Chain A
Amino acid sequence: MSRRGRPITSPPRIVAIPAVIALLFLGLPIVGLLFRAPWSNLGAVLTSRTSLDALRLSLVTATAATMVAFVIGVPLAWMLARAQFPGRRLARALVTVPLVLPPVVGGIALLLAFGRRGIVGQYFESCCGVTLAFTAPGVVVAEAFVAMPFLIITVEGALRVLDARVEEAAATLGAGRLTIFRRVTLPLLAPALVAGGVLTFARALGEFGATITFAGNLPGVTQTLPLAVYVGLEGDPSEAVALSLILLAVSVGALVLLRDRWLRTGASA
């Protein structure tokens, strides 16, 4: 074996052994999923009532949670990145809490805040007749709680790196704050918005712990795909595997979208 042409900065060959183990460790479960999938009656399983309901609910709630994240998360990211206000550091720390908090704990916390007896939820109940816990909107709340930080952190990071000097130039051309944000900042943020949005959607789609705690597991109402997979595992494992395939497909799709469209160009820009 010739050693010629191998740059000195490349790792020694021995490193390949643990590296391959790591790759197998990450890859084999996926292979297992594909091998054991009930390919023959996949169609029947996937078009069953439970599966279709769960799939529809998952797509709708994950989309809604992502929209919620855009509507209130992007403004928060903008404030965190550019506004001076007391408690900004605390606010920034608060945003990261759902990322590290076990989702089940997040679900309990949501119950204590927005549940029927929660510190805020009781007023929703009494004044507007709105109940969040154990309802489909509750699923959206749970997913948004867990997933929104991905969008906020991605967008805030991009805003901080963004060259504010271009925005200054826009101001000298007669643009006010909102115009600058709409016509200069947002277009420049587009890669971060897409990346953050895809991450948020993927995370919301896979949400399990907070959802089952806060919204329960009612088929057709709050039973999302991950919950259906869990339930299926106890009853009909082949159904669980089939449903898992859907989640896998969506996740891989999100990853491909991120890598090819934005992550690479975003990193080099």
Chain B
Amino acid sequence: MAADGGVGMTRAMPVPSVPGGRAPAETFGLSGRIGVEREGFSLDVALDVEPGEVVGVLGPNGAGKSTLLRAICGLVPLTHGRIMLGDAVLDDPEADVMMPVNRRGIGVVFQEYRLFEHVSVLDNVAFGPRSSGSSRAAARLVAHPWLDRLGLADLAQRKPSQLSGGQAQRVALARALACNPMALLLDEPLAALDASTRLEVRSELRDHLRDFAGPTIVVTHDAIDALVLADRIVVIEDGLITQQGQALEVARRPATDYVARLLGLNLLRGHAIDGEVTVDGGGLLHVADRSVFGGVLVAIRPNAILLHADRPDGSARNVWTGTVDGIEVIGDRVRVTVVGPPTVMVDVTSGAIAELHLARGDRVWLSAKATELEVYRG
């Protein structure tokens, strides 16, 4: 009981920030190596997030994304490594230091929002200031501008159960921001929304994250969310980083099959010599970039590949043949899987499918320009 975090009076609270973009007096980067070892699960990730930077953590279910966030905010203790916020140690198992969750000053927006169902939207947002010792009236005074800022002023008296998904998400964000956190963590912030509201909330969220002066980490398994929200992307698979880089870089040059699949790209592995790539598993592709040698990856957008009934005479330097294996309708396009070698996904219009009378097992010709093939060291 002695380890109780107390009523929060001891925590040095910065002056409540004025919503509207004024940053806290000082901002710190979040850095460290997050190691969590559990039975049948292991996470070992080095992270360094600058103030104002938004890092998107992308990964499949069970990769350890949520554990990463829980470790950073203090809900899961590290088994090895160290987490720092500026010069302050948040967790260091070797030095036996672990700052309790409620003293870390790290705002979290949880996937299911976790709003307090028993109080109003206003008091949800006022909860943080109130926990740090403010009176009810003073806490509400801090909360109001955040409600205004996130467009929640009209909903202040509602209970969380009366909110739509998008509104609840904004309340969760306002609640976290009203604590004037040093860093912000978001766990699948858009996963609980339906497709139509998602688009709108996503761009709103991007604007709010831009206004936040501290380091931000957004965990998601959706590539678009990560690309829209984050400046930099870290891909985690099986508890380890498999790729990281600027969002655009990752989108153009995926390093693993998982990322390529998320982005809907064809990813082929091969060996390059002087502009020619011998694809693992068969096939030869011509690429425009002759400077890359050795083991390479080739990324091809499915709509950069053309489908033909007969051998094409065009100028495309890559021409090969294959068998149709799958036909899947995606929105207004049709994705055709053609078994090569090399085997690729091709996007065509539904009109083209009708014209070609495509069916499973048909023999087709494929063509792609060398300049459409992104080749890079794998």
Contact = CB atoms under 8 A, between A and B. Distances in A.
Nearest to B1: A177
B264 interface: no
B128 A173 contact: yes
A177 B127 contact: no
Contacts of B317: none
Interface in A114-168: 163, 165-166, 168
Contact of B6 (A171, A172, A178): A178
Interface in B115-136: 115-119, 127-128, 130-132
A7 interface: no
A74 to B, nearest CB: 15
B11 A174 contact: yes
Contacts of B74: 171-172
A102 interface: no
A165 B8 contact: no
A176 B127 contact: no
B4 A171 contact: no
Given A166-B114, A166-B116, A174 B6 contact: no
Contacts of A176: 4-8, 100, 102, 131
A229 to B, nearest CB: 41
A22 B183 CA distance: 64
Interface stretch (A24-32, A183-191, A192-200): A183-191
Question: Which residue among B107, B118, B176 has the maximum number of chain A CB atoms within 10 Å of its CB?
Answer: B118
Interface hub of B114, B115, B128, B132 (most chain A Cβ within 10 A): B114
Contact of B131 (A165, A175, A187): A175
Contact of B101 (A171, A183, A187, A188): A171
Interface in A58-117: none
Interface in B5-57: 5-8, 11, 13
Contacts of B119: 187
A173 B179 contact: yes
A163 B117 CA distance: 11
A168 B114 CA distance: 9
Contacts of B179: 173-174
B107 to A, nearest CB: 7
Contact of B110 (A169, A177, A188): A169
B116 A165 contact: no
A8 B139 CA distance: 57
B106 interface: yes
Contact of B106 (A166, A169, A172): A172
A170 interface: yes
Interface string B96-115: 00001111111110101011
Nearest to A181: B4
A169 B108 contact: yes
Contact of B127 (A163, A165, A168, A183): A183
Contacts of A190: 118
A172 B108 contact: yes
Contact of B132 (A172, A174, A178): A174
Contact of A178 (B4, B103, B110, B175): B4
A179 B130 CA distance: 10
A269 B8 CA distance: 31
| Most chain A beta carbons < 10 A, residue from B4, B73, B102 | B102
A171 B131 CA distance: 9
Contacts of B130: 183
A174 B8 contact: yes
B131 A169 contact: no
Given A172-B107, A174-B102, A174-B179, A179 B114 contact: no
A117 B115 CA distance: 55
Contacts of A170: 116, 127, 131
Contacts of B4: 176-178
B131 A173 contact: yes
B116 A184 contact: yes
A44 B221 CA distance: 77
Nearest to A173: B128
Nearest to B3: A177
Nearest to A176: B5
Contacts of B175: 173
B127 A175 contact: yes
Interface of B: 4-8, 11, 13, 73-75, 100-108, 110, 112, 114-119, 127-128, 130-132, 175-176, 179
27 contacts: A165-B114, A168-B75, A168-B101, A168-B110, A169-B108, A169-B114, A169-B116, A170-B116, A171-B74, A172-B73, A172-B104, A173-B102, A173-B127, A173-B128, A173-B179, A174-B8, A174-B179, A175-B8, A175-B102, A176-B4, A176-B6, A176-B7, A176-B8, A176-B131, A178-B4, A183-B131, A187-B119
Which 7 A-B pairs give the minimum distances between C-beta atoms? A176-B5, A169-B114, A173-B128, A175-B131, A171-B101, A172-B108, A174-B131
Given A166-B116, A172-B107, A174-B179, 10 more contacts: A165-B110, A165-B112, A168-B75, A168-B101, A169-B114, A172-B74, A173-B127, A175-B5, A175-B131, A178-B7
Interface of A: 163, 165-166, 168-179, 183-184, 187-188, 190
